[in-house]
Amino acid sequence: MGEIEAAVTDTHPLLYHARGGRSLGKRARAAFLACEERRTLIYVPVAVAWEITLLVRAARVELGRSVRSFCDDIFSNPAFQPLDTTLEQAMIADEVPILRDPFDALICAAALSLGLPLLTRDQAIEESGVVRTLWE
């Protein structure tokens, strides 16, 4: 299992990493560790940040701080890169109708637009085969 140079993260892996990484799969954990050591880039789509905001608002996730502070902490490491949503990503997401969740579609579109694997264990994404996934 070679080290990856870059990947895109889904929402749950980023939250798992922030909580210490115990719930991450082996390959996902290795990618986040390499990122923390600045040996791998992990792109965080804006859709991930917005989904975290919605999860906090709905009291489904507790960060123990504001989402802004959480993101400031994540992005204080330059190996974590925020990734803006583009019109091209929106068009790619539209062309992947098998993903019903709009966040999943935009996050997969981000990975596809960069030609990178997606850190996720989301079964719908894995089964769709739309994007290469990394987890175990």
Give the mean pLDDT of 25-47: 97
In terms of CATH architecture, what is 6-134? 3-Layer(aba) Sandwich (3.40)
Domain spans of the chain, in order of start: 6-134
pLDDT given for residue 113 in this prediction? 97
pLDDT digits (tens, 9 = 90+) for 90-113: 999 999 878 889 999 999 999 999
Q: pLDDT value at position 102?
A: 92
Task: Read off the pTM.
Answer: 0.95
- Average pLDDT rounded to a whole number, residues 56-69: 97
Strand partners, 7: 42
Measured distance CA(134)–CA(136) in Å, rounded: 7
Residue 99: per-residue pLDDT: 82
